[in-house]
Structure 1
Amino acid sequence: MKVLNSNSVVYAAVLLSDLSNGLSLFGNKKPQLTKRDGSEIDNFIKFKFDKSYGDSYKNSSKRNKPKLDIVKRDGYEEIELKNESSFYSIKLSIGTPAQNVTVLIDTGSSDLWVTGSDNPLCSSDDATFTGSDGSSQSSIDCSLYGTFDIDDSSSFTSNDTSFAITYGDGSYALGNWGQDVLSLQDIDVTGLSFAVANYTNSTVGVLGIGLPSLEATYSGSLAGSNPYQYDNLPLVLRNSGAVKSYAYSLFLNDEDSSEGSILFGGVDHSKYEGTLNTLPLVNYQKSSGFQSPYEFDITLQGLGISTSSKNTTVSDTQIVALLDSGTTLTYLPVTLTSLLAAELNASYSARLGYYTMSCPSSSDSTEIVFDFGGFHINVPLTSFIVTSSMNVCILGIIPRSGDQAILGDSFLQHAYVVYDLENLEISLAQAKYGSSSEDIEAIVSSVPSAVRAASYSNTWSTAATINSGGDIFTVSTTASNGTTSSGSSTRSSTSSRRTGTATSSSTGSAKDSSASSLRPSSSTIDSVSGSSGSSSSTSSTSISNSATTLASTTRSSSTSSSLSTSTSSSRTSSSNSNSNGSNIIVPSFITILASLFYFI
């Protein structure tokens, strides 16, 4: 095995250097966006994206499904959860002449970066790189998803500003900021700043479309003075006039579909049933000094089960729920998972590290009901079932420590979600599949036809003991005229269709786009307290998990190397300015700094 040696420079001023330059680092040019054929853009932009699932993007597939496998290692067996991460990919065209690269759309980070052609870890050989701290890193094959060679582009300009980001799964990217001719499917987004990673252990780059507080240039409350934000893709689209709002809608489509779509600046009313209900984002990390929300957390008011014969409320205790399109499964606090499992007659297996249950038939009508206060999102129980090679079914709702839930794709594929980054709100409705036509309406100042949920002002504020019981099925809704009505309900789709006349239009041609993950997708999966044996389940995070800035935000996630051992890590990012742009922060330095700022 070939060993590569390198004496990387640890640039310790990463957090404080030259941030005072602020937005001037990116220039004052305001992009004027058009389609690549020169025609004008409608007041919304729709991209389609490819969906794939796996343990890493390199090994992901459209056909993969979460499953539990027995893996033999060194004479003993381990039980591993496979295909736990979700990936949404899109192709970019960068430079003059154009070079094509693939990136993952991520709702949980906010920066665009691509792999540079000079990345020393890109090699077709089975090589190992040894860093200055003695740690080793295997080489990666960068040819499949493309790299960007700045020397082959006559239009590339560097900002001489360093970029660094790391993720909870151990992947990272280090490089420099710049600008170039840039196209996203058929839309020319030249002027959007991006980073070229000349050192990364990831096979694919990331297109982050999250909140500004997640930008690698922003320090928030955890780092030094002079933080700054810049226009990432959603802001570039809005500020250029291409769309009228700082908002987008995400439609993952049904689980058998290989494509989903993201709609910037618009809502497609044909993709949901009933009424769009609006909720405010929750500032989950307020106690840690954050002045506003930095990720897509909302309040889950309760949880229930609906069958053909009865409705059962599992709990009506408020908890925080993160909408995370980078996670395939759904994670709930330990106590809530235990209460739900009991109602489903699922039992915890210390050997497997998961709840097991009788396999439901394909015609099983049982639904898990997520109550958001005045409306429900219903998810078939079968969407939460994980198969295994041991002829047993696993409940794909995983217990995790803490008071926060993570609602992954198993939930989100049944919801139509509008992310309003301007007003820090989320609008939700039950997803609708199979529509042959579109009914798209531009978002101007607020989400069209959306109404404030009855619980809009009753949001999570502090952790509480999760209690069983209650009644989430007597739904109280406040109409626009201020009157209140109540009744028994098991679906949010029973509410009336939107009022008024919508502007319906076609989206035109679009290539291939992606929406993603948002945020450290997977989280710590703890053994249920009181169960026999010492076991914890495997949790893997993906590149598309939500990133946080070293100078701004951090978020914990975990990976597990064995059934009995789990290792917690955090995902951090940082950006620094450097006069010559040549200094690189080695991964070990980032890891050390991340541990200093680690919080839950």
Structure 2
Amino acid sequence: MKNLALLLSLAGGLIQPISALTLHERSQPATLQYNVQRRHNAIRSSRKRATVDVDIGNNEVDYIISLELGTPGQNVSVIIDTGSSDLWVNAAGTGSDSSNNSYGTYDSSASSTYSLVNDDFVIQYVDGSEAAGDYVNDTVKLGNVTLTNFQFGVATNSTSSQGVLGIGYASGETSAQFGGGVYANLPKALANQGFINSAAYSLWLDDLDAKEGTILFGGVNTAKYTGSLHTLPIEKINGVYDTLAVSLNGVHVTGTKSTSVNNTAFPVVGVLDSGTSLTYLPSAAAQDLISAVGAEYVERAGYAIVDCDVADQDYDVVFEFSGFNLSVPVGDLLLDAGSYCVFGIVPQDSDSDDGEFVLGDTFLRSAYVVYDLENNEVAIAKTNTDPGEDHILEIGTGSSAIPNATGVASSSDSDSKESGATSLRIHVSSLCAAFVVGAMLLAS
């Protein structure tokens, strides 16, 4: 969900080559796949402030994944989120629709493997809602893989009907922000318990019309992208790796639509956040992009609307990174709301919301992203929406180059760490929900 992305000064630092992932091809790789259903939901955006993860809702897309918690297993579906780090679910009888919670809840008294950690779990939301309760240990099952003594939050007081599976840095957990220390969240637990080599995964959301996307823990699927993977360093926020943030150097428009874009606010640091529906860019640049597509910003709604026929126009919004660009067709930035479309880029003032900028789902659907939490880097390529047969490579340990990847320079403080374990590829499918916007927001 919309996470911390501070406007950093990137000039003046020493530059050194960055390391990248080691990939291995296995004849019989173990995989784990989850299929989930399309659903309608609100545009999601969360922000991390000081010591809490903050979540606000507009109206749009989620990517969800199914888990089993406890013994015997209790089924839940949760939002998969690169912008946060905790798994949390509602306790039985808790949540905004506790009487009929189709997403599932967790009853600790019904699990023989449950144990209480503490009562310090809390997530606070911008709109005044919150989730709070206990941290517990219990088994968590993803397909055929079972993690034992896995820590997660159980909300006994919540205004949200669905929980979240945060897969960011363990240092971004709410317990760490409150001084309670870190624990092994999902990527770390999979590595620690020997299912993957290191805390790394790749995410492919496919296009907006697709019923499924894929998250692959411990591996890279070369069929899911075109061209080369380009590695970028993850940027420290306030001197700490706790957010999956990269440097964005600017944006521009190519194709039949010719327009200038005000890039004076760049470079900025933006979070790669699968839990945020839209993309938040510096205000001047975003306003120029809104004008370029003929959209109109609706202040009360918090986004711009445009005629859906714009999707037929032949031009792209290009995101500029160090060493490469990623082009996003304008049609991929439009979210169909029925009588109009929402434009998927939103202006964000650098002096508001702690200077946050976010590369959300409207960007990520056009990108194949590999997140390497061990080496503090990501690798990005153009997504392939017609991939054909899978070709999966395991991510190893250490700091060698990704095949067909182009390394990009990093700041001198980008750390690299080795992690040794047995290797297992875990393949997970998630799903893009349909877009629904409340027309009442547009009423005069």
1:400 Cα deviation (Å)?
1.5
- Look up the match of 2:382: 430
- Look up the match of 1:218: 176
- Look up the match of 1:412: 364
Question: Which of these residues, 399, 403, 406, is aligned with residue 449 of structure 1?
Answer: 403
1:48 Cα deviation (Å)?
4.8
Structure 2 vs 1, CA of residues 199 and 347 (structure 1 numbering), >3 Å: closer, same or farther?
Answer: closer
1:357 Cα deviation (Å)?
5.7
Structure 2 vs 1, CA of residues 56 and 417 (structure 1 numbering), >3 Å: closer, same or farther?
Answer: closer
1:53 Cα deviation (Å)?
4.5
1:94-105 to 2 correspondence within 5 Å? Answer: 94-105=69-80
- Look up the match of 2:201: 248
Larger radius of gyration: 1
Distance 1:263 1:310 in 2: 38
Q: Over residues 512-538 of structure 1, what are the superposed CA-to-partner deviations in whole Å (9 max), with x where a residue is unaligned?
A: 754899xxxxxxxxxxxxxxxxxxxxx
**TM-score after normalising by structure 1:** 0.57
Distance 2:32 2:123 in 1: 28
Answer whether contact 1:111 1:206 (CA < 8 A) is retained: yes
Q: Over residues 426-458 of structure 1, what are the superposed CA-to-partner deviations in whole Å (9 max), with x where a residue is unaligned?
A: 110000112221111111134632645445459
Answer whether contact 1:266 1:442 (CA < 8 A) is retained: yes
Distance 1:280 1:148 in 2: 38
Question: Which of these residues, 172, 182, 186, is aligned with residue 130 of structure 2?
Answer: 172
Answer whether contact 1:43 1:265 (CA < 8 A) is retained: no
Tell me, what secondary structure is at the counterpart of 1:180? strand
Residue 265, structure 1, aligned to residue 265, structure 2:
no
Residue 321, structure 1, aligned to residue 270, structure 2:
yes
1:153 Cα deviation (Å)?
2.2
Tell me, what secondary structure is at the counterpart of 1:340? helix
The residue identity in structure 1 corresponding to 2:211 is S
1:73-152 to 2 correspondence within 5 Å? Answer: 84-117=59-92, 119=93, 121=94, 140-152=98-110
- Look up the match of 1:276: 229
- Look up the match of 1:338: 287
Q: Over residues 231-270 of structure 1, what are the superposed CA-to-partner deviations in whole Å (9 max), with x where a residue is unaligned?
A: 1111111112210111110000111111111001110011
The residue identity in structure 1 corresponding to 2:99 is D
Distance 2:78 2:160 in 1: 11
Distance 2:186 2:300 in 1: 46
- Look up the match of 1:11: none
Distance 1:437 1:165 in 2: 40
Indicate the percent of aligned positions where both proteins have the same amino acid: 36
1:101 Cα deviation (Å)?
2.1
Answer whether contact 2:85 2:172 (CA < 8 A) is retained: yes
- Look up the match of 1:298: 246
Distance 2:153 2:257 in 1: 55
1:186-197 to 2 correspondence within 5 Å? Answer: 186-197=144-155
1:276 Cα deviation (Å)?
0.6
The residue identity in structure 2 corresponding to 1:304 is H
Structure 2 vs 1, CA of residues 180 and 367 (structure 1 numbering), >3 Å: closer, same or farther?
Answer: same
Answer whether contact 2:236 2:242 (CA < 8 A) is retained: yes
The residue identity in structure 2 corresponding to 1:299 is S
- Look up the match of 1:373: 322
Question: Which of these residues, 41, 45, 50, is aligned with residue 54 of structure 1?
Answer: 41
Tell me, what secondary structure is at the counterpart of 1:217? helix
Distance 1:258 1:404 in 2: 30
Tell me, what secondary structure is at the counterpart of 1:189? strand
Distance 1:298 1:437 in 2: 30
Unaligned runs of 5+ in 1: 1-40, 58-81, 123-137, 460-504, 518-538, 541-560, 565-600
Answer whether contact 2:122 2:174 (CA < 8 A) is retained: yes
The residue identity in structure 1 corresponding to 2:59 is E
Unaligned runs of 5+ in 2: 1-27, 45-56, 414-422
Q: Over residues 75-100 of structure 1, what are the superposed CA-to-partner deviations in whole Å (9 max), with x where a residue is unaligned?
A: xxxxxxx9634222222222333322
Aligned pair count reads 385
Answer whether contact 1:314 1:340 (CA < 8 A) is retained: no
Tell me, what secondary structure is at the counterpart of 2:228? strand
Distance 1:145 1:278 in 2: 36
Q: Over residues 311-352 of structure 1, what are the superposed CA-to-partner deviations in whole Å (9 max), with x where a residue is unaligned?
A: 977637322222121222222211112333444455667798
The residue identity in structure 2 corresponding to 1:173 is A
Distance 1:393 1:239 in 2: 44
- Look up the match of 1:162: 120
Tell me, what secondary structure is at the counterpart of 1:449? coil
Answer whether contact 2:58 2:301 (CA < 8 A) is retained: no
Structure 2 vs 1, CA of residues 171 and 307 (structure 1 numbering), >3 Å: closer, same or farther?
Answer: same
Answer whether contact 1:46 1:264 (CA < 8 A) is retained: no
Distance 2:108 2:186 in 1: 21
1:168 Cα deviation (Å)?
3.3
1:271 Cα deviation (Å)?
0.5
Deviates more, 1:196-205 or 1:355-364: 355-364
Distance 2:303 2:106 in 1: 43
Structure 2 vs 1, CA of residues 394 and 214 (structure 1 numbering), >3 Å: closer, same or farther?
Answer: closer
The residue identity in structure 2 corresponding to 1:159 is V
**TM-score after normalising by structure 2:** 0.74
Distance 1:236 1:454 in 2: 29
Distance 1:514 1:198 in 2: 27
Distance 2:156 2:370 in 1: 35
Tell me, what secondary structure is at the counterpart of 1:155? coil
| Larger relative contact order, structure 1 or 2 (CA cutoff 8 Å, min sep 6) | 2
Distance 1:259 1:152 in 2: 32
Distance 1:239 1:314 in 2: 46
Answer whether contact 1:248 1:264 (CA < 8 A) is retained: yes
1:56 Cα deviation (Å)?
7.4
